[in-house]
Amino acid sequence: MMAQSVTPEGYGLKEFSINDKKLGLIRFYVDTVNILRKAPLVVEVNGSGGLPLCLYIQGKKFVTTPTTFSDELFSKTKDKYHYVILGKPGTSFCDTLNLELSVAEYQKNPSQVIFAHKPSAEYTKRLSLNWRVQATKTVISYLINHGFWDKTKIVAYGYSEGGQVVPSLAVEDKRVTHIASVVGSGLNQLYDGIMNWRIAAAKGELTQQQAQDSVEASFKRIAEIYKNPNATDKETGGHSYLRWASFGAVVPFEQLRKLTIPIYMIAASQDNSSPIYGLDYVRLEFLRLGKTNLVYDTCVGCNHYLGSPDNSKQSGGSYIDKILTWVQHN
């Protein structure tokens, strides 16, 4: 496996930074294609965790540099739009990670880097739904004030955790003209774990009592999160209580229903990270409310990465192409 660049410039990105009194240092990156020309904006809001946008991984006799932004979205928007992505708080563009793994071990489960990488103290201190929304608003303002935007479209594309950020972003920032929420959530994110225990029992993977015991433990942990909503010294599931409480304080559907701008949602039917049940609920409620600004697209048989569960192939073709065609016609 060959290593690629470890600098923004190597990927065709230019780094900018804003020092904000409340939010701290905000790093963001803009594609360098036609950077002096005014254009519509596509802002990617990526998934969860304190990973940098680029990782330099040194394994056993191999080196690789995976990225945590969408290469496909970047490559397909940079000519007609300004592609924009924020870094996480307290996180540089690239970081080095040493893994005691062979190429085969790494390729079998590349997502294990999420658990091997330790986020910065600044990330843990600051990361919340509110930080992501306010930082993205600040960056949009910077781009507008510095002549990047052509006064047409501002598209917020959110993946996973980012798919939960973009509804709140659009509610707060009326300059956003379109949102695409990809494998985000419809209901309270803290409900997902409870639902998964119930489903496991229904499938016979554990007894009803075992499921109930696990549900009770989940509710006890959730109660602690809501009692300590600003705690950054307590964590569960790889995230601080601050992070969980902030996302658990806002139900994505309640934000989505406030919007009249075009919305594109993608759900994956075999997604263990963002279960489809809560996303189907959004579609149901939009029908009940008579709202017609939602396109709801199901990737059948897909996992959280919009591939087949064994990752042998991409399922359902390119969803980036579908989203960009939708943006063009709405």
Distance, CA of 221 to CA of 227 (rounded, Å): 10
> Is the CB of residue 266 less than 8 Å from the CB of residue 279?
no
Question: What confidence tier does 310 reach under pLDDT thresholds 50, 70, 90?
Answer: low
> Is the CB of residue 21 less than 8 Å from the CB of residue 82?
no
Helices H, strands E: what count in the chain?
12, 13
Distance, CA of 192 to CA of 196 (rounded, Å): 6
pLDDT tens-digit profile of 73-96?
999 999 999 999 999 999 999 999
Domains within the chain, CATH numbers bracketed = 13-52+79-91+119-187+251-329 (3.40.50.1820)
Distance, CA of 48 to CA of 55 (rounded, Å): 15
Read off the tokens for 292.
């017609």
Q: Look up the pTM and report it.
A: 0.94
pLDDT of residue 311: 53
pLDDT tens-digit profile of 2-60?
457 889 999 999 999 999 999 999 999 999 999 999 999 999 999 999 999 999 998 88
> What average pLDDT does this structure show over 205-220?
98
pLDDT tens-digit profile of 110-166?
877 877 889 999 999 999 999 999 999 999 999 999 999 999 999 999 999 999 999
Read off the tokens for 138.
């600040």
- In this structure, which amino acid lies at residue 181? S
Burial of residue 205 (CB within 10 Å: 0-12, 13-18, 19+) is: exposed
- Please give the residue that has the higher pLDDT: either 287 or 113: 287
The β-bridge partners of 152 are: none
* Residue 1 predicted with pLDDT over 60: no
Distance, CA of 151 to CA of 39 (rounded, Å): 8
Distance, CA of 196 to CA of 211 (rounded, Å): 9
pLDDT tens-digit profile of 247-280?
999 999 999 999 999 999 999 999 989 999 999 9
Share of the chain above pLDDT 90, in %: 83
Question: What confidence tier does 317 reach under pLDDT thresholds 50, 70, 90?
Answer: low
Cα Rg, the chain, nearest whole Å? 20
Question: Mean pLDDT score of the chain, rounded to an integer?
Answer: 93
The β-bridge partners of 178 are: 155
Burial of residue 147 (CB within 10 Å: 0-12, 13-18, 19+) is: exposed
Burial of residue 48 (CB within 10 Å: 0-12, 13-18, 19+) is: buried
